[in-house]
Amino acid sequence: EVQLVESGGGFVQPGGSLILSCVASGLIFKDSWMAWVRQAPGKGLEWVANINPDGSQIYYSDSVRGRFTMSRDNAKNSVYLQMNNLRVDDASVYYCARDPHYAALDYWGQGTLVTVSS
């Protein structure tokens, strides 16, 4: 059974930082593209970033580029999202997902909530 488990969410003030983690099991992680997708409270889904299997290619949405950094550690079956200079509109549930091919995300974690408020 594939499992993706996110952690690291919490409360932060505008301008602050957080690091999200996602640990994967039940899949061949080192061969998998991975993605982060977010969902603001009561809103729809928004693509954040994705990363190729060896971490050499990372793509970001315009809304987070320059502030967020996605990375991975294949030895730990983990992906990360370093979020800096957080804004109120970054407040969302952040989901980790596997991206098997052209964003057709087939496995999702349960999500971790990030709250940004003064």
Partner 1 sequence: DVVMTQSPLSLPVTLGQPASISCRSSQSLVHSDGNTYLTWFQQRPGQSPRRLIYAVSNRDSGVPDRFSGSGSGTDFTLRISRVEAEDVGVYYCMQGTHWPPTFGQGTKVEIE
Residues that bind partner 1 (CB under 8 A): 37, 44-47, 59, 61-62, 95, 101-106, 108-111
Based on CB atoms, which residue is closest to partner 1, 36 or 80?
Answer: 36
Based on CB atoms, which residue is closest to partner 1, 80 or 99?
Answer: 99
Shortest gap between Cβ of 16 and partner 1 (angstroms)?
25
Based on CB atoms, which residue is closest to partner 1, 39 or 82?
Answer: 39
CA-CA-CA-CA torsion sign (5, 48, 28, 20): negative
Shortest gap between Cβ of 112 and partner 1 (angstroms)?
11
Shortest gap between Cβ of 72 and partner 1 (angstroms)?
19
E strands, the chain, in order: 3-7, 10-12, 18-25, 33-39, 45-51, 58-60, 68-73, 78-83, 92-99, 107-108, 112-116
Residue type for position 11: F
